[in-house]
């Protein structure tokens, strides 16, 4: 199957890479343009958030999109929600209509409460808060998933996906992400925030948030206008910008 991506995407295909994010960062340093897409049929040293290993064997999707969005780095980080929504929509297109596809803050996609996809953003930010480039990495379990992870995982095949291919999911994800990018650029973060909230996992419920130096338990009350998680903890609201959420 040939992957057809619209402008401004430029696809670079590899049979094997250490990490698509690492390759996209190398290409960014060499001046690769906005819209460069790196896809590896097999990734040998994938990484998730906080340097965790991301297992992405042959048959699963590993890809990265290089962007040069300009503006402030803080605003560019909102693209993690655009990517998560794009992946959630792509996943939903190949699963039974009854499948429960949600987004786990800040940038995971779940099916029936099990992790099927993770998003990793990495950037080069010069002084004064600007951004030189941003790499949006996405991993999707298509035919297999790890069984020994702290958070339960799943795959498209395990959840009822039939004849799903890497090419199909890459194309669908990139198209959905592009549509979200257009909305984000033209209308700002608010429509993205509203769409993400509709898919939010655990909203209004008790969650556990592991921070770098403490663990908090409270109610996930809302997502604020910048994408931070608002946690009602011991009667007071805490604004969380980075952490790991458990249910």
What is the reported pTM? Answer: 0.93
**E strand spans, 77-214:** 101-104, 108-111, 114-124, 133-140, 206-210
Residues 232 and 160 in one domain: no
1 lies in a domain?
A: no
Task: For residues 121 and 173, state if they share a domain.
Answer: yes
Does residue 150 lie within any of the structural domains? Answer: yes
The per-residue pLDDT for range 137-157, each reduced to its tens digit, is: 999 999 999 888 888 999 999
Total domain count, the chain: 2
Between 70 and 111, the more confident residue is 111
With tokens 């959840």, the residue in question is 159
148 and 171 both lie in a single domain: yes
189 and 71 in a common domain: yes
Res. 29 pLDDT band, cuts 50 70 90: very high
- Residue 54 sits in a domain of what CATH number? 3.30.930.10
Average pLDDT over residues 55-61: 80
Q: Is residue 109 part of a domain?
A: yes
pLDDT at res. 128 = 67
Mean of the per-residue pLDDT values of the chain: 93
> Under DSSP, is residue 15 helix (H, G, I), strand (E, B) or coil?
strand
Strand order in the sheet with 215-223: 236-240, 229-233, 215-223, 206-210, 244-246
Mean pLDDT in residue range 168-191: 97
Percentage of the chain modeled with pLDDT above 90: 81
Tell whether 5 is covered by a domain.
no
Assess whether 232 and 117 both reside in one domain: no
pLDDT score of 2: 83
- Give per-residue pLDDT as tens, 72-114: 888 999 999 999 999 999 999 999 999 999 999 999 999 999 9
Q: Are residues 80 and 154 in the same domain?
A: yes
In the structure encoding, which two tokens stand for residue 169, read together?
A: 């999911």
* Cβ proximity of 134 and 67 under 8 Å: yes
pLDDT at 125 over 90: no
Same domain, 50 and 23: yes
Instruction: Provide CB contacts within 8 A for 119, sequence distance 6+.
Output: 80, 83, 84, 87, 107, 108, 109, 136, 137, 138
- Name the helix (H) or strand (E) containing 169: helix 166-187
């Amino acid at each position: 199957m040939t992957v057809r991506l619209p402008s401004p995407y430029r696809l670079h295909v590899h049979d094997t890479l250490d990490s698509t994010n690492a390759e996209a960062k190398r290409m960014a340093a060499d001046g690769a343009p906005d819209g460069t897409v790196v896809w590896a049929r097999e990734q040998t040293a994938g990484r998730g958030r906080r340097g965790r290993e991301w297992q992405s064997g042959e048959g699963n999707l590993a890809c990265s999109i290089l962007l040069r969005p300009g503006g402030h780095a803080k605003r560019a980080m909102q693209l993690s929600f655009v990517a998560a929504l794009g992946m959630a929509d792509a996943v939903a297109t190949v699963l039974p209509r009854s499948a429960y596809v949600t987004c786990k803050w800040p940038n995971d996609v779940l099916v029936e409460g099990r992790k099927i996809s993770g998003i990793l953003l990495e950037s080069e930010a010069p002084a004064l808060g600007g951004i030189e480039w941003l790499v949006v990495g996405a991993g999707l379990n298509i035919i297999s998933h790890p069984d020994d992870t702290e958070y339960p995982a799943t795959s498209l095949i395990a959840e009822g996906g039939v004849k799903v291919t890497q090419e199909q999911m890459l194309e669908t994800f990139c198209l959905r992400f592009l549509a979200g990018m257009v909305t984000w650029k033209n209308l700002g973060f608010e429509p993205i925030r509203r769409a993400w909230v509709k898919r939010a996992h655990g909203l209004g419920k008790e969650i556990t948030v592991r921070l770098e130096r403490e663990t908090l338990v409270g109610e996930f009350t809302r997502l604020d206008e910048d994408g931070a998680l608002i946690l009602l903890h011991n009667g007071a609201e805490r604004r969380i910008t980075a952490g790991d959420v458990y249910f």
